[in-house]
Structure 1
Amino acid sequence: MKFDGLVDYGGDSTITNKSDKLADHALVMMFRCYRSKWVRLIAVYATSSATTSIVIQNIVVKAMKALEKKGAVVTNVVCDGHPTNKGVHRLFGVSGEMKNVTHYNKHPTNQDEKIYFLFDVPHIMTCIRNHIFTHKFVQVNTLLIRFRKLILKKC
């Protein structure tokens, strides 16, 4: 699929203004129920390269509010491990630092509830695989595991 157009975050001036830049990426927001395979696309934004963490944070909060207005209960946010998404986690107060691991914070629309932040497991597995094939080692605490012969075979 090919799309030609300018950067546009839906006209919400609290997120960002339209740009004269040509869009080359799409930022996609989806909603998924826990107990079914039901998935809905809820927003697509035309962007230029990586969207900033603060813009994504604003879009996530806006999406939560819109979903909850329609009766949905938003309990977590899932994304891939892109550095921009890690920045979004930091903006929400989530940390992966060994001395300060925090995977949730107060829900932005209901301070009595928690919102959890997760990374998508298939993306994590891909990152681990790519790291092993590139660097030939993995560090677990103080233990360094080296992979001398890595053979990739199709199953």
Structure 2
Amino acid sequence: MIDEIQLTPGLAYDASSGTVFGAPTVPLAEDTLPDGCLATHAIVFMLGGVSTRWKQVVAYHLTGNSFHAKTMKQIIVDVITECEKVGIRLHVVVTDMAGGNQSLWKLFGIVVGKHSKPKVSCAHPCDPSRKLFFMPDVPHLLKNLRNHLTQGEEITLTEDLAKKLKLPGRTVSVQPSKRVVEVDAKADLKLAPHLKEACVQPGHFEKMKVGFAFSLFNNDTAAALRMLVGAKDDEINNTDALTTTWFVETVFKWFKLMSSRTTKLASHFDEQRYKETITFLKGMIDLFEKIEI
């Protein structure tokens, strides 16, 4: 797993090593490193279990506002190689979908786009007979969906999908969820206790927290929306509310499957359930490829 954290630029002296820290350790995107340049971010490399919950930081590099993709690619290969040497088998590289990471994916031959056939793996640098997969960080994807809607934008489903699911409309928006927050603010008994103002109108720091996005795309929120529609709330657009409800329920199910680390959601114990899950996940791929934003 590769993640980025923001730093306060500055220099610091490490007495134990006699070294001054604070300058980038990786060139900028243009493969340059101007004199006096200070690091503004750190790229952290972590290992984690696929089927067990554990995480360990193994390396980090300081960067400016960008990084040189070719240099970062070699660092990733070096980290993988050192791990494989001691018996840790690495199968997947997980990053968010920031611009620098998308450039990094392209260097590994990874292709993901609306108008191209996805290619999500390359030859493993330590064993050409194996594949090294690349995967976007699921919590970041959830936050991206939330950020799009809370910025006042909408998501439009295809007409075919709306007809297939017998949805009353094609538009997904945050407005119905905002109405839930307004109703709950005046009530002692909440429809969706975990849905707060910060979930539908997040500030700078709230946008970084997965919990607020999870509360928005949650079955509790979907149930609250259905309740308002059933109560014939005058302030809610029933057509958009029902379509948004379906989308919230669908994204919630997808997120639970993609972030599961327990056997409770394991589908290999039940062949029928396994087939249904695979069909659902393939449907999500089709949904994400065809929605309009």
> Structure 1 residues 58 and 17, CA, compared in 2 at 3 Å: closer, same or farther?
farther
Unmatched 5+ residue regions in structure 2? 1-6, 12-21, 162-169, 182-194, 197-214, 216-293
Which of 115, 127, 131 is the aligned partner of 2:148? Answer: 131
Q: Could you say which residue in structure 2 is the equivalent of 1:46?
A: 62
TM-score, length-normalised on structure 2?
A: 0.46
Find the aligned partners of 1:64 and 1:21 in 2 and give their Cα distance.
Answer: 29
Q: If you compute each CA radius of gyration, which structure gives the higher value, 1 or 2?
A: 2
Structure 1 window deviating more from structure 2 (140-149 vs 90-99): it is 140-149
Structure 1 window deviating more from structure 2 (87-96 vs 97-106): it is 97-106
> Structure 1 residues 51 and 148, CA, compared in 2 at 3 Å: closer, same or farther?
closer
TM-score, length-normalised on structure 1?
A: 0.82
Superposition deviation, residue 79 in structure 1 = 0.6
Q: Could you say which residue in structure 2 is the equivalent of 1:30?
A: 46
Superposition deviation, residue 99 in structure 1 = 2.9
**May I ask how many residue pairs the two structures share in their alignment?**
150
Superposition deviation, residue 140 in structure 1 = 4.3
Maintained 8 Å contact 1:8/1:19: no
Which of 13, 23, 27 is the aligned partner of 1:6? Answer: 23
Pairs within 5 Å for 1:3-152: 4=11, 5-9=22-26, 20-97=36-113, 98-140=115-157, 145-147=171-173, 149-150=175-176, 151=178
Find the aligned partners of 1:16 and 1:70 in 2 and give their Cα distance.
Answer: 34
Find the aligned partners of 2:60 and 2:174 in 1 and give their Cα distance.
Answer: 43
Query: What whole-Å deviation, never above 9, does each CA across 1:34-89 have from its counterpart, x for those lacking one?
Result: 23322110111121112132222111111101111111101010011111111111
- What residue identity is the alignment partner of 1:114? K
If each structure's helix is expressed as a fraction of its own residues, which one has the higher value?
Answer: 2
Find the aligned partners of 2:85 and 2:34 in 1 and give their Cα distance.
Answer: 26
Unmatched 5+ residue regions in structure 1? 10-14
Structure 1 window deviating more from structure 2 (56-65 vs 145-154): it is 145-154
- What residue identity is the alignment partner of 2:139? P
If each structure's strand is expressed as a fraction of its own residues, which one has the higher value?
Answer: 1
Query: What whole-Å deviation, never above 9, does each CA across 1:109-150 have from its counterpart, x for those lacking one?
Result: 211100100011110000011111224211445786352725
* RMSD, aligned CA: 2.7
SS of structure 2 residue aligned to 1:23: coil
- What residue identity is the alignment partner of 1:34? V
> Structure 1 residues 59 and 139, CA, compared in 2 at 3 Å: closer, same or farther?
farther
